[in-house]
């Protein structure tokens, strides 16, 4: 009997996605067929992929060879537990996003729907292949396919110059990253010339070359993930893309880069060195702090979320650094704890950030407005979106009982044990990093409050918002799916940890599951219950009870005495919804406290202004410190080369002639 | 090395010297039609030299190469070029970027370089015609020099074709010719190249009303 292995199912899923994309191309203008048939089918395939990897988790690796590509260079594929965790993430997040997309794309917006369908499903298939690839060649092909298809998705609305600019920036940095990854693979294969991952695993590089390969991987994958200083494309590309695409990029694509980093650090390079952990932690902390600070001061809702993605990737990099440190010093249980925090945060972020990006999509469609300063009070018009966004916001702020809390709590637990590191200054410095992580978590809460409060609460800042409508059925279904995932990740941490433990065990040789299992499914105590434990259901019950009690009390005490009247108006005569706190005003304290971190251009109104206005523009220091000098340098080099290319045939001939003579003289026997 | 040089080797050296002389003559020739004639003459000499090598070594396939050279380089290509010149009504004077005496001096330096470079190789070779390798290399370089210093399109093409002559001579002298397949391929390439360039001339002429390739500088991206 021919048995269908999980890896075959996943290959069929990738093939089906490609076929769905091509099917969209068959009738590129048939809007109903594409949005109501192909996208839901894609979502079903995504669920299938997710369920397959769910059933696979915990079993041994499977391999397959796919005879496509160049002759003699077939695609080697391999499904192991690490890949399965990320396939799980991809499948479940993509299911929600695809269902949402079925209702999201509108007739006559941007590219032809058939083209969008092709790019979107190609993107999904490429991401799946990245996770399954088992040789450098297949990996790079899938990786580039992913970059290209997402580039086209970002530039869907290519009629706007700024979107083209964002797309160009994205493509540029994606290629810088791809070159770094290619060089990294080249180094790892240099000994044997074998480009399969099995060959790379088999050999061990000398420390210098291993470190060079790891740093290249950090640069290459960091460029895709959005680590400092190659993060600049992220806040440009995410707002430019349609919301389901932003959700897919932020929720899933960034995680493929994390996957690559894990694959190289723990699987392909063999034993990591301790200082890699310090580097990863330093880069991660800088990224997290930078991302969260910039996300608090944004006034465009999608840019705010994009910077928040940078922050979350930074936290994941911190967890990676911690894992590397513990692993290098052979503290297996703690390394497993940090790795669990890392994988958990990947899953959590994929859920809540996709959810939030999709919510901005619904808001964008309902109001045609992205600027926070023109939104407000939408909870009255869009209750579905508002309440579901609340789930994402709570998770994003790292509050119990939702998913973000669990991973950040696990990460901080890992930090609490870092004084045990057998290194004189590391065990002093690393706990300071924990303080920075705590600061980042607090600021992330601030950014989320700002996002939610200004978009959904308060009064409507513009008249036009009165016509806003709630999300459609498809959109709602996608949002509910992601919110439910976020909720489950929050309240069932022990179950989830037991699932992802297979990957931890594969990479580190130690897991958390046995410890976790000891205390039953309702209590999470990663090291021992005496030190720290978390019972999500208790939290949930207490929170629910407190809310109900409060509501009950309010009803009892104020029943019948409730009346609506204008709020206290500080003695001003004119008071409209515009008098509410603005996005800029809300974050002003943060901007003031962290002033040196920002590059600001402000315009203050003066008494004599006919039409007084206030504006503030916050820019990234990296543009002026790193990117503009680099661009000027490249420009200068190109100018020199233009001088070489004078346009005269005689000169060109002379170049080759002189080269010939020099070569002849040099190669003289 | 014996002092008595067989007749065939002397003949080969003689023809090689003639080819080098013709290369210099082409470098010095200002007018288009005589230039083409010189090129045809060089092709003929090349054919004769190949025949002598073929006869003295008994390499049968070299007869084929010699025939190919005769047909292609001594007859067909000069004829095509003549026709082109007539159709395009090229003015006879050829301007150079560098004046003729200087060009000749540079050419002499090139010949010295070529001999210097080829000496070690020809000592390794065991063929009867090994002494001519330096000359072959020199004529390649001289043809290249012609391509550089001429500003009109047709002399450039002649330079390009003459370069192929030099290559052919090098191949015969170092290894008794290339395999027939390669030779046929190169011959076809040269022919097709000449035809395509002919088409280009018409286009350049249409566009700029002149065959001066300095006009092409305008095509540069600014």
CB contact under 8 A, B151 and A650: yes
Residues A280-325: tens digit of each pLDDT = 999 999 999 999 999 998 888 899 999 999 999 999 999 999 999 8
Mean pLDDT of A381-407: 89
Tell whether B28 lies on the interface with A, counting CB pairs under 8 A: no
Which run of H or E residues covers position A377?
Answer: none
Angle between helices A493-508 and A332-367 (to 10 degrees): 120
Out of A647, A653, A664, whose CB is closest to B147? Answer: A653
Mean pLDDT of A276-280: 91
CB contacts of B137 in chain A (<8 Å) are 664
Peptide bond into A229 cis (omega under 30): yes
Tokens at residue A337, please? 């704890």
Residues A82-99: tens digit of each pLDDT = 999 999 999 999 999 999
Tell whether A630 lies on the interface with B, counting CB pairs under 8 A: no
Q: Which long-range contacts (CB under 8 A, 24 or more apart) does B183-189 make?
A: B183/B64, B183/B65, B183/B68, B184/B68, B187/B68, B187/B72
Determine the 3-state secondary structure of A62 from DSSP. strand
CA distance A342 to A323: 9
CB contact under 8 A, A647 and B144: no
Higher pLDDT, A54 or B58: A54
CB contacts of B218 in chain A (<8 Å) are 647
Q: Which long-range contacts (CB under 8 A, 24 or more apart) does B88-93 make?
A: B88/B201, B88/B202, B88/B205, B88/B211, B90/B32, B90/B152, B90/B154, B90/B211, B92/B31, B92/B32, B92/B33, B93/B30, B93/B31
Query: What does the pLDDT read at residue A221?
Result: 93
Query: What does the pLDDT read at residue B1?
Result: 44
* B17: closest CA of chain A, how far (Å): 22
Query: What does the pLDDT read at residue B13?
Result: 85
* B101: closest CA of chain A, how far (Å): 19
Tell whether B97 lies on the interface with A, counting CB pairs under 8 A: yes
Query: What does the pLDDT read at residue A482?
Result: 92
Query: What's the Rg (C-alpha) of chain A?
Result: 26
Predicted-assembly ipTM surpassing the 0.85 threshold: no
* B116: closest CA of chain A, how far (Å): 9
| Dihedral over alpha carbons A540, A546, A549, A550 (to 10 degrees) | -130
Q: How large a percentage of chain A has pLDDT more than 90?
A: 30
Tell whether A663 lies on the interface with B, counting CB pairs under 8 A: no
Neighbours of A436 (CB within 10 A): 18
CB contact under 8 A, B120 and A657: no
Mean pLDDT of A65-76: 79
Residues A500-517: tens digit of each pLDDT = 888 888 888 877 777 777
Out of B116, B137, B148, whose CB is closest to A653? Answer: B148
Distances (CA, A) of A500 to A93, A176, A403, A507: 16, 32, 15, 11
- Name the average pLDDT for chain A: 86
Q: Is the pLDDT of residue A147 over 50?
A: yes
Q: Is the pLDDT of residue A1 over 50?
A: no
Distances (CA, A) of B222 to A471, A570, A573, A645: 51, 64, 62, 11
Cα angle value A476/A482/A483 (rounded, 5°): 85
**Which chain A residue is nearest to residue B142, measuring alpha carbons?**
A657
Q: Is the pLDDT of residue B216 over 70?
A: no
Residues A558-614: tens digit of each pLDDT = 766 667 776 666 666 666 777 778 888 888 888 888 888 887 777 788 888 777 777
Cβ–Cβ pairs < 8 A, chains A and B: 41
Tell whether B113 lies on the interface with A, counting CB pairs under 8 A: yes
**Which chain B residue is nearest to residue A650, measuring alpha carbons?**
B148
CA distance A534 to A164: 47
CB contacts of A668 in chain B (<8 Å) are 116-117, 120
Tell whether B124 lies on the interface with A, counting CB pairs under 8 A: yes
- Mutation to test the A interface, candidates B148, B162, B204, most A Cβ within 10 Å: B148
Between positions 187 and 216 of B, the ones with CB within 8 A of A are 213-214, 216
Query: What does the pLDDT read at residue B126?
Result: 67
Query: What does the pLDDT read at residue B200?
Result: 75
Tell whether B7 lies on the interface with A, counting CB pairs under 8 A: no
CA distance A553 to A556: 5
CB contacts of A652 in chain B (<8 Å) are none
- Which three-class secondary structure string do you get for A398-456? CCCCCHHHHHHHHHHHHHHCHHHCCCCCHHHHHHHHHHHHHHHHHHHHHHHHHHHHHHH
- Which three-class secondary structure string do you get for chain B? CCCCCCHHHHHHHHHHHHHHHHHHHHHHCCEHHHHHHHHHHHHHHHHHHHHHHHHHHCCHHHHHHHHHHHHHHHHHHHHHHHHHHHHHCCCCECCECCCHHHHHHHHHHHHHHHHHHHHHHHHHCCCCCHHHHHHHHHHHHHHHHHHHHECEHHHHHHHHHHHHHHHHHHHHHHHCCCCHHHHHHHHHHHHHHHHHHHHHHHHHHHHHCCCEHHHHHHHCCC
Tokens at residue A341, please? 């925090």
Q: Find out whether A251 and A184 touch, Cβ atoms under 8 Å.
A: no
CB contacts of A646 in chain B (<8 Å) are 217, 220
Determine the 3-state secondary structure of A196 from DSSP. strand
Query: What does the pLDDT read at residue A217?
Result: 93
Q: Given pLDDT bands bounded at 50, 70 and 90, which one contains residue B94?
A: low
- Mutation to test the B interface, candidates A638, A642, A646, A653, most B Cβ within 10 Å: A653
Tell whether A665 lies on the interface with B, counting CB pairs under 8 A: yes
Residues A332-369: tens digit of each pLDDT = 888 888 899 999 999 999 999 999 999 999 998 888 88
Distance of CA A612 to the CA centre of its chain: 39
A57: closest CA among A403, A511, A618?
A: A511
Tell whether A641 lies on the interface with B, counting CB pairs under 8 A: no
The count of residues in chain B is: 222
Q: How large a percentage of chain A has pLDDT more than 70?
A: 95
Tokens at residue A148, please? 């290209």
Alpha helices by DSSP H, A59-196: 81-104, 113-132, 136-154, 161-188
- Mutation to test the B interface, candidates A641, A645, A647, most B Cβ within 10 Å: A647
Higher pLDDT, A463 or A54: A54
CA distance A334 to A314: 20
Residues B196-216 as b or e (16 or more Cβ within 10 Å = b): ebbeebeebbeeeeebebbee
Out of B120, B145, B217, whose CB is closest to A668? Answer: B120
* A661: closest CA of chain B, how far (Å): 8
CB contact under 8 A, A657 and B145: yes
Is the pTM above the cut of 0.90?
no
CA distance A258 to A273: 19
Contacts of A604 (CB under 8 A, 6+ apart): A614
Peptide bond into A401 cis (omega under 30): yes
Neighbours of A531 (CB within 10 A): 11
Residues A482-504: tens digit of each pLDDT = 999 999 988 888 888 888 888 88
Higher pLDDT, A2 or A640: A640
Q: Is the pLDDT of residue B5 over 90?
A: no
Residues A164-183: tens digit of each pLDDT = 888 998 999 999 999 999 99
CA distance A346 to A309: 11
- Which three-class secondary structure string do you get for A298-328? CCEHHHHHHHHHHHHHHHHHHHHHHHHHHHH
Higher pLDDT, A570 or A403: A403
């Amino acid at each position: 009997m021919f048995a269908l292995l999980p890896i075959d199912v996943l290959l069929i899923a990738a093939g089906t996605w490609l076929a769905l994309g091509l099917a969209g191309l068959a009738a590129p203008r048939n809007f109903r067929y594409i949005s109501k048939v192909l996208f839901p089918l894609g979502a079903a395939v995504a669920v299938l992929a997710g369920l397959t990897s769910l059933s696979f988790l915990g079993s041994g690796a499977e391999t397959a060879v796919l005879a496509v590509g160049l002759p003699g260079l077939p695609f080697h594929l391999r499904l192991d537990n690490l890949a399965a965790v990320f396939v799980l993430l991809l499948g479940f997040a993509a299911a929600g996003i695809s269902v949402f997309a079925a209702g999201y794309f509108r007739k006559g917006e941007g590219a032809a729907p058939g083209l969008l369908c092709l790019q979107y499903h190609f993107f999904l298939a490429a991401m799946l292949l990245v996770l399954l690839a088992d040789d450098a060649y297949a990996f790079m092909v899938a990786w580039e396919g992913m970059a290209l298809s997402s580039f086209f998705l970002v530039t869907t609305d290519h009629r706007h110059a700024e979107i083209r600019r964002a797309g160009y920036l994205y493509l540029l940095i994606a290629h810088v990253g791809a070159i770094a990854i290619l060089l990294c693979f080249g180094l790892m294969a240099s000994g044997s010339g074998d480009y399969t991952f099995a060959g790379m695993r088999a050999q061990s590089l000398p420390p210098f070359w291993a470190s060079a390969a790891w740093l290249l991987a950090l640069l290459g994958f960091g460029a895709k993930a959005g680590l400092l200083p190659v993060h600049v494309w992220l806040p440009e590309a995410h707002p430019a893309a349609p919301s389901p695409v932003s959700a897919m990029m932020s929720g899933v694509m960034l995680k493929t880069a994390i996957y690559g980093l894990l694959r190289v650090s723990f699987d392909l390079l063999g034993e990591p060195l301790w200082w890699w952990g310090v580097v990863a932690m330093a880069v991660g902390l800088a990224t997290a702090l930078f991302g969260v600070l910039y996300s608090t001061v944004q006034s465009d809702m999608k840019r705010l979320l994009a910077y928040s993605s940078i922050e979350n990737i930074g936290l994941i990099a911190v967890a990676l650094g911690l894992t590397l440190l513990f692993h290098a010093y052979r503290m297996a249980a703690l390394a497993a704890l940090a790795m669990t925090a890392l994988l958990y945060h990947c899953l959590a972020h994929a859920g809540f950030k996709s959810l939030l990006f999709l919510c901005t999509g619904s808001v964008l469609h309902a109001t045609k407005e992205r600027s926070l300063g023109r939104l407000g009070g939408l909870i009255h018009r869009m209750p579905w979106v508002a309440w579901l966004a609340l789930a994402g916001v709570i998770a994003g702020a790292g509050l119990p009982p939702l998913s973000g809390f669990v991973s950040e709590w696990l990460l901080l637990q890992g930090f609490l044990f870092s004084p045990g590191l057998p290194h004189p200054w590391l065990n002093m410095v690393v706990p300071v990093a924990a303080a920075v992580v705590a600061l980042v978590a607090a600021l992330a809460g601030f950014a989320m409050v700002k996002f939610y409060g200004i978009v959904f609460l308060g009064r409507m800042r513009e008249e036009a918002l009165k016509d806003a409508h709630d999300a459609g059925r498809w959109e709602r279904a996608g949002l509910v799916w992601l919110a439910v995932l976020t909720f489950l990740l929050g309240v069932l941490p022990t179950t989830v940890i037991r699932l992802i433990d297979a990957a931890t065990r594969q990479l580190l040789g130690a897991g958390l599951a046995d410890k976790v299992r000891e205390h039953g499914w309702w209590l999470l105590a990663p090291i021992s219950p005496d030190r720290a434990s978390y019972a999500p259901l208790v939290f949930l019950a207490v929170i629910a009870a407190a809310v109900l009690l409060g509501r009950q009390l309010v009803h009892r005490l104020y029943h019948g005495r409730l009346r609506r009247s204008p709020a206290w108006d500080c003695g001003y005569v004119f008071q409209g919804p515009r008098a509410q706190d603005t996005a800029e005003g809300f974050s002003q304290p943060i901007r003031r406290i962290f002033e040196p971190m920002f590059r600001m251009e402000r315009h203050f109104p003066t008494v004599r202004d006919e039409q007084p206005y206030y504006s503030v523009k916050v820019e990234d220091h990296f543009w002026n410190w790193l990117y503009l000098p680099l661009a000027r340098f490249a420009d200068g080099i190109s100018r020199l080369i233009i001088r070489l290319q004078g346009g005269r045939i005689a000169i060109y001939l002379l170049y080759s002639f002189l080269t010939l003579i020099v070569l002849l003289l040099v190669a003289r026997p | 090395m014996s002092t008595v040089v067989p007749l065939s080797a002397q003949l080969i050296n003689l023809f090689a010297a003639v080819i080098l002389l013709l290369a210099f003559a082409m470098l010095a020739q200002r007018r288009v039609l005589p230039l083409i004639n010189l090129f045809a003459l060089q092709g003929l000499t090349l054919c004769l030299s190949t025949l002598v090598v073929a006869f003295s070594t008994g390499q049968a396939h070299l007869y084929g190469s010699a025939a190919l050279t005769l047909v292609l380089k001594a007859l067909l290509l000069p004829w095509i070029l003549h026709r082109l010149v007539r159709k395009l009504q090229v003015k006879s004077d050829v301007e150079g970027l560098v004046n003729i005496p200087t060009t000749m001096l540079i050419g002499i330096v090139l010949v010295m370089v070529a001999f210097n470079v080829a000496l070690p190789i020809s000592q390794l070779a065991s063929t009867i015609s090994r002494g001519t390798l330096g000359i072959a290399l020199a004529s390649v370089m001289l043809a290249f020099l012609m391509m550089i210093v001429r500003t009109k399109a047709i002399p450039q093409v002649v330079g390009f074709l003459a370069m192929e002559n030099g290559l052919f001579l090098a191949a015969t002298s170092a290894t008794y010719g290339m395999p027939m397949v390669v030779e046929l391929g190169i011959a076809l390439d040269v022919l097709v190249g000449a035809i395509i360039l002919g088409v280009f001339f018409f286009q350049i002429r249409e566009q700029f009303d002149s065959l001066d390739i300095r006009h092409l500088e305008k095509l540069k991206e600014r």
